[in-house]
Amino acid sequence: MAVLTAERPKTAARAPKRRRRISPVLLAFVLVPLVVEGFWVFWPALQGFYLALTNWDGVSAPTFVGLGNFAEMFSDDIFKTAALDTVLWLVLFGGLSAVGGLALATLLQRERRGVGFYRAALFTPVVFSLVATSLIWQVIYQPDGVFNKVLGAIGLGSWQHAWLADPKTALYAVLVPALWRQLGYVMVLYLAGLKGIDPALYEAAKLDGATAWQQFRNVTWPQLRSVNSVVLSVIIIDSLRSFDVVWSMTKGGPYHSSELLSTYMYATAFQSLRLGYASALAVVIFVLAFGVIVTYLVRAFREDS
């Protein structure tokens, strides 16, 4: 004990010294990861923004065209479809997975018999890749597949359909597997949030005679505020990244009916080799995501201090 008290002032005196000079090891600890990320993320990102202002086939030198690529988008019908589909995707994929995930979490919130199994069942698809997910669902969607078979069996034979081949249904047919996989993820986020709510709040609400809905509205929902902003960010970022599932199911087709900005960007870059225009499309995706990222960072920053 005596030793400890004797040591204390010494360490206190040492602390400011440490602050003045950062050891080279420590410097390397920060700089090496920073350089790796800078080289493979920030430097390419800057190039991406520059390339958006050029025409480039990837072989000859890029020619500067200013905002020409962005002007071209206004007369590009595929761009319009892709932009609309992206917004639709954001609303449907985002909205349904948030509402559905919260509903599932509320349903499976209380520890009771069987709840572990139910949670695991709903969560399982989260670990599959979106490519595997889309193959699983293609088996279901085939004209002679289970889905049409079930429709026939319950007397809805007239609804039978080549779901992925019809421009009217392709986007929605892709949305279902994406939701199948996302809902469990959002559920887990909300379960964690619900777990953090003080049970005393519910006790108090019950004493005041609050109904189940009132408890949800006045206790659960306000308490979930921080989780909500995380879920929102995750969902918007994920839906802007929903490239894999569309690419592996329809490649954006038929006739661009399920085209998202992300798939259109990839096809423009690596199939049409219009690297400048593709970079401009990427900038549009960036601008859409930017709002979310800023909110996310502001929140993280606020919690930090």
Partner 1 sequence: MRSTRTFGFHLLAGGLSVLWLLPILLVLTTSVRSFSDIASNGLGALPASFTLDGFGQAWGEGGGGHAMLNSLLVTIPTVLLALLLSSAAAFALSRYEIPFRRTIILVMLAGNLLPPQILLVPVAKLAELLGIYDTLTALIVVQVGFGLGFYTFVLQGFMRSIPGEIQQAALIDGAGVAQIFWRIILPMTRPALAALGALAFTWTFNDLLWSITVLRTGTVMPVTPALLGLQGQYVSNWNVIAAGSVIAAVPTVAVFLRFQKHFISGLAIGAIK
We find the least distance from the C-beta atom of residue 14 to partner 1, in angstroms, to be 8
Q: Which stretch binds partner 1 (CB under 8 A): 76-84, 91-99, 200-208, 269-277?
A: 269-277
Identify residues 237-266 at the interface with partner 1 (CB under 8 A). Answer: 237, 240-241, 243-244, 247-248, 261-262, 265-266
Taking the least distance from each CB to partner 1, the nearer of 28 and 71 is 28
Residues 6+ apart with CB under 8 A from 141: 147, 163, 164, 173
Positive or negative, the Cα torsion across 178, 239, 237, 190? negative
Please work out the total of residues on this chain that contact partner 1, with binding judged by CB under 8 A: 110
Q: Which amino acid is at 39?
A: F
What letter represents residue 227's amino acid?
A: V
**Residue 282 within binding range of partner 1, rule CB under 8 A:** yes
Q: Does residue 212 touch partner 1 according to CB under 8 A?
A: no
Please identify, among the stretches 63-71, 81-89, 187-195, 213-221, the one whose residues bind partner 1 according to the rule CB under 8 A.
187-195
- By CB under 8 A, the residues from 16 to 55 that bind partner 1 are 18-19, 22-23, 25-26, 28-30, 32-34, 36-37, 39-45, 47-49, 51
- C-alpha pair distances (Å), 82 with each of 75, 100, 220: 13, 25, 37
Choose between 70 and 128: whose C-beta lies nearer to partner 1.
128
Q: How far apart are the first and last CA of the chain?
A: 35
Residues 68-97 that bind partner 1 (CB under 8 A): none
127 binding partner 1? (CB under 8 A): yes
Give me the least distance between CB of 229 and partner 1, in Å please.
10
Segment contacting partner 1 by CB under 8 A, of 73-81, 83-91, 179-187, 208-216: 179-187
For partner 1, the closer CB: 204 or 291:
291
The Cα 242–Cα 90 span in angstroms is 10
- Cα–Cα distance between 289 and 38 in angstroms, integer? 20
Q: What is the 3-state secondary structure (H, E, C) of 147-166?
A: HHHHHHHCCCHHHCCCCCCC
**Rounded CA gap, 58 and 139, in Å?**
38
